[in-house]
A and B are shown apart, each in its own frame.
Chain A
């Protein structure tokens, strides 16, 4: 896999998680942003089945525990009780909200 791997995963207080990548890049994710992008089957299916989406700012949401999954992902146990999401490093890198990554993601997705 060509994707860079994280060297450090740090909880920034109760609001965010920061990942330092092997290529030196740093990604900072707000907890509610990560939670809303939970890649588990239940969360991914939710929009299709028109269940309510929890897309709101929640200041009391935090990562209770972060664990490694094999050598490709982390699992996050959220304070709202949800813990089935497995965030692969690839997904996390793609989710990086920094302006540089976002711009290149948009540029890459421009279609005909």
Chain B
């Protein structure tokens, strides 16, 4: 056992009066250092009453001092709550979720193209594929391989098309089905959010798993989402599901930035006839009911699918394509809406 682990183990024996757990389990030990027999313990006393803090320090000195080879024990008190610990994704500016409560509406296609369009606007963009059950970002962005892991737990995102990309798909075989229980998904997402080193980003686009279950809740609880883009198709059943999604985001105080209506019509490449395969007006109906703007309507165009399957999103592949222009407009609106909805997080003091 390393000297630090030995000290930590000793610290688990210390339980201040009034606290039901030891100081390590309660998260009061910030850091332990050992150098030439001098042990430094950084203690975060929280609101422990001063007499209890004194007693705790004495306990630490006694317990750690009894270890072999320890010359001196220094206990340093961290004052006030550590703000850095609360910032869940350091260096990441705005976090935008791309969500749909229904599968198969093209959420991932919208997410990657939106990310590319944001990058073309000069933003530093990351994409997190949080669809742990059916990760599709690796295919759509044409990126594969295992991300590098440094210092044991820090995962470095892969880079592609100017985006930093992280997906569960990087850690899975191509064909094995993903069978996860709720708690596993929650744990996995937590780890993803904590361990991925995004570096400096202006926007992180999160491709959410479809639905309103564990994975979605974890995300809204773990990260202060700047807002959500809800993807839908025009037909009524899809629209009903979107209402549920909007209700979920309302409950957790996350602004719905707008709706993207995908597969809104089919334009025949031969004769130019426009055919509204899935009906029309769904998104407009939502706009009226919830006051959420429609950011864009994306027609069914074979080039969109082809570029997605080939691993180069249409926004990159054909930047002047009408669909790419729609995405550029969506990206601009997303940035505007995010800026308008920005509210400062409450300060936690004392």
Q: Which residues of A contact B (CB under 8 A)?
A: 1, 5-14, 19, 60-74, 77, 79-81, 86, 89
Contacts and interface: CB of A to CB of B under 8 A. Distances in A.
Contacts of B18: 60-62, 79
Interface in B133-168: none
Nearest to A15: B47
Contacts of A7: 344, 346-347
Contacts of B86: 67-68
B151 to A, nearest CB: 24
A70 B47 contact: no
Interface string B228-253: 00000000000000000000001111
Contacts of A80: 20
A64 B20 CA distance: 11
Contact of B346 (A6, A62, A77): A6
A71 B47 CA distance: 24
A31 to B, nearest CB: 9
9 contacts: A8-B349, A10-B348, A63-B47, A64-B26, A68-B86, A68-B348, A70-B221, A71-B253, A73-B221
- What's the dominant secondary structure at chain B's contact region? loop
A68 B350 CA distance: 15
B49 A14 contact: yes
Nearest to B85: A67
B315 to A, nearest CB: 29
A74 B348 CA distance: 10
B254 A68 contact: no
A11 B250 CA distance: 28
B224 A71 contact: yes
Nearest to B344: A7
Which interface residue of A5, A12, A70 has the most chain B CB atoms within 10 A? A70
Contact of B221 (A63, A66, A69): A69
B20 A79 contact: yes
B223 interface: yes
Given A65-B46, A70-B253, A71-B253, A81 B346 contact: no
B343 interface: yes
Which interface residue of B17, B344, B346 has the most chain A CB atoms within 10 A? B346
Contact of B224 (A12, A61, A70, A77): A70
A100 B223 CA distance: 34
Contacts of A12: 350
Given A9-B347, A71-B345, A66 B81 contact: yes
Contacts of A61: 18
A27 to B, nearest CB: 13
A81 B19 CA distance: 7
Given A66-B348, A71-B345, A14 B47 contact: yes
B71 interface: no
Interface string B11-27: 00000011111000011
Contact of B46 (A1, A5, A64): A64
A64 B251 CA distance: 27
Given A63-B46, A63-B47, A70-B225, 4 more contacts: A9-B349, A65-B26, A65-B27, A68-B346
B224 A68 contact: yes
Contacts of B21: 81
B252 A70 contact: yes
A11 B344 CA distance: 19
B222 interface: yes
A11 B18 CA distance: 17
B221 A71 contact: no
Given A12-B350, A68-B345, A70-B254, A86 B221 contact: yes
Contacts of B344: 7
B58 to A, nearest CB: 19
Which 9 A-B pairs rank lowest in CB-CB distance, beginning with the nearest?
A: A81-B20, A72-B253, A11-B350, A60-B18, A6-B346, A10-B350, A72-B252, A71-B224, A70-B220
B121 interface: no
Contacts of B346: 5-9, 19, 68, 74
